[in-house]
Amino acid sequence: MVDQYWYQKSVFYEVSVQAFYDSNGDGVGDLAGLTQKLDYFASLGIDCLWLLPIYESPMRDGGYDISDYRKINPVYGSVDQFANLLQEAHNRHIRVIMDLVMNHTSDQHPWFKAAREDRQSPYHDYFVWSETDQKYLDARIIFLDTEISNWTWNEATQEYYWHRFYSHQPDLNYDNPAVIDEMFKIVEYWLEMGIDGFRVDAVPYLIERDGTSCENLPETHAILKQLRAFVDREVPGKVLICEANQWPKDVVKYLGRGDEFQVAFDFPLMPRIYMAMKKADSAPIRWAMEQLPSIPASCQWGTFLRNHDELTLEMVSEEERQFMWSEYSADRRYRLNLGIRRRLAPLLDNDRRKIELAHSLLFSLPGSPFLYYGDEIGMGDDVTLYDRNGLRTPMQWTSGNNAGFSTAGQLYSRIISQPEYAPSRVNVEAAEKEPGSLWHVIQKMIALRHDHTVFSTHNFTWIDCHEARSAVFRRESENETILAVHNLSDTVLHLEVPVTRAANYVDLFTSRQYNEDESKLLLALEPYQYLWLKALLG
Ligand code: GLC
């Protein structure tokens, strides 16, 4: 029987088809290449792949600029190859979700091409127009480094069109029922092909209203609830994941009463993991956890350390943002919009202890974890590449030619070349061979998560050890109790962890046993050490 709550127990892996593996030697990763690598995900323990957009696109925003929602970008392969990927993934019990970009199209989409030519076109009303650029002025600009307004002038029809992202990405008009209809048909098309759901892009911005921020409006929620009902009617057991870079009180509304999205990314937590590690103080994580409202039993948070975008600093205070910028991107070239365009390993000084600690937090805090391709081997970034492209370089498979990614002479992107992160030092082949590698630690964490379902529940209790430099919490279910203990500092910590159940504990990583002493555990933690202590009951 299909477990309809599978997404609560899943470890997700965000993958760029372009960057993963090139099967036909044209310098660009493709669907057949990804299919060839499915055993890689199986051995890492991945439950679900999230594919960055693979639709037909002029590729001016990594494929988030779609020119045909029903076609696959031919450089990635054919519909048949996609169907084969799904089949082969499912054979290995790996699910596959796609990105659904509802908010906007590319300016190369035939709808927009027709709309911008002629006010009488039936497609004109698919987009948002205005005679002046003084409407919706309370809506912020998101791509601060590239855009100066959310309006762009259209010569042919003598009016402005609305866009929350790049000016080549006109927003669709969700006040027009025909647009909703079109989008639902697109959803149906891909669901019928057998995908397991969607990560839905940029959902807060579907509807605009004057005098508001044009984000999170009730009318937007109404459409998203319709979407969920539609998906459930079509094929039950599919997942909808919400990308809303917003505060928890607003994000939680996207879960509704369990009738909107099943999963929502927890954006405020992510930067606070980095903050806590830099300050050697758990207060930011604790604060982020305290902000989380309870969520419907059928829902889940989506947690992550990095993704394909800049590390966003939208859900922090001005002071926190300045702290993050000065500590994590003293080199200003790494700053982009309100964020930092760096990968995980370079952010954490390529220090194995810190990288493992961050993953321990990711995997032991509530929520379903999302990994970003390449971070499991500690890949680096390239600040000289445009915008976010430095985080989207080819996957490093071997130390050989083109990092084993492709046999082509020319690749879609340069490969990372700084000596510390170059393929000669950072590659899958070496990581798999070396039993002590980061890759193996992450594989182990994933396996432990699967073995201990308490990690997938909503249960979470912070444990106060009167030591700010520690982050200690309990995950508990009817049949198990696990304490996750973290030393966020670079010094040895002596901790007294109060325990409620009189029990001895075993560390799930090392099998070392820790005995409780009058309702407390006395622990000495090495710098950045973490333990997952399971209570031995009875
Ligand atoms: C989302 C995507 C980002 C894209 C933007 C516009 O934020 O994560 O990569 O640029 O939407 O589509």
DSSP strand E in 431-498: where? 461-462, 470-476, 481-487, 493-498
Rounded to whole angstroms, the Cα distance separating 51 from 80 reads: 16
Which atom of ligand 1 is found nearest the CA of 308? 9
Which atom of ligand 1 is found nearest the CA of 165? 6
DSSP character at residue 281: -
* CA 452 – ligand 1 centroid, Å: 34
In this prediction, residue 501 carries a pLDDT of 66
pLDDT, tens digit, for every residue of 171-182? 999 999 999 999
Helix (H), strand (E) counts: the chain: 15, 24
Kindly write down the DSSP assignment for every residue of 406-447, as one continuous string. Answer: ---SS-SSPPP-STTTSTTTS-HHHHHH-TTSHHHHHHHHHH
DSSP character at residue 293: P
Mutate to test the pocket of ligand 1, among 14, 54, 61 (most ligand atoms within 8 A of CB): 61
Mutate to test the pocket of ligand 1, among 143, 164, 304, 309 (most ligand atoms within 8 A of CB): 309
Rounded to whole angstroms, the Cα distance separating 125 from 176 reads: 7
Task: Indicate the residue type of 297.
Answer: A
Could you say which of 243, 376, 381, 382 is catalytic?
Answer: 243
Name the closest-CA residue to atom 9, ligand 1.
309
In this prediction, residue 502 carries a pLDDT of 67
Name the closest-CA residue to atom 10, ligand 1.
61
In this prediction, residue 538 carries a pLDDT of 61
* CA 91 – ligand 1 centroid, Å: 31
Which atom of ligand 1 is found nearest the CA of 104? 12
Taking 70 as the pLDDT cut, the residues of the chain under it are 1, 501-502, 538
In this prediction, residue 271 carries a pLDDT of 98
Which atom of ligand 1 is found nearest the CA of 388? 9
The dihedral region occupied by 258, where left means phi > 0, alpha psi between -120 and 50, and beta the remainder, is left
Name the closest-CA residue to atom 12, ligand 1.
64
In this prediction, residue 1 carries a pLDDT of 67
- The model scores a pTM over 0.95: yes
- 3-class secondary-structure state, position 364: helix
Protein residues with CB under 6 Å of any ligand 1 atom:
61-62, 64, 101, 165, 201-202, 308-309
Name the closest-CA residue to atom 4, ligand 1.
64
* CA 476 – ligand 1 centroid, Å: 36
* CA 63 – ligand 1 centroid, Å: 9
Q: How many beta carbons lie within 10 A of that of residue 455, not counting itself?
A: 27
Nearest to 480 by CA among 509, 449, 511: 449
In this prediction, residue 326 carries a pLDDT of 97
Rounded to whole angstroms, the Cα distance separating 138 from 36 reads: 48
pLDDT, tens digit, for every residue of 100-159? 999 999 999 999 999 999 999 999 999 999 999 999 999 999 999 999 999 999 999 999
In this prediction, residue 517 carries a pLDDT of 82
Which atom of ligand 1 is found nearest the CA of 166? 6
Which atom of ligand 1 is found nearest the CA of 245? 7
Rounded to whole angstroms, the Cα distance separating 415 from 316 reads: 32
Name the closest-CA residue to atom 3, ligand 1.
309
Q: Is 201 a catalytic residue?
A: yes
In this prediction, residue 500 carries a pLDDT of 76
* CA 141 – ligand 1 centroid, Å: 13
* CA 223 – ligand 1 centroid, Å: 20
Nearest to 505 by CA among 516, 497, 494, 519: 516
* CA 61 – ligand 1 centroid, Å: 8
Name the closest-CA residue to atom 8, ligand 1.
309
Which atom of ligand 1 is found nearest the CA of 309? 9
Could you say which of 30, 171, 201, 476 is catalytic?
Answer: 201
Q: How many beta carbons lie within 10 A of that of residue 212, not counting itself?
A: 13
Q: What share of the chain is helix, strand, coil (3-state, %, to 5)?
A: 30, 20, 50
* CA 163 – ligand 1 centroid, Å: 12
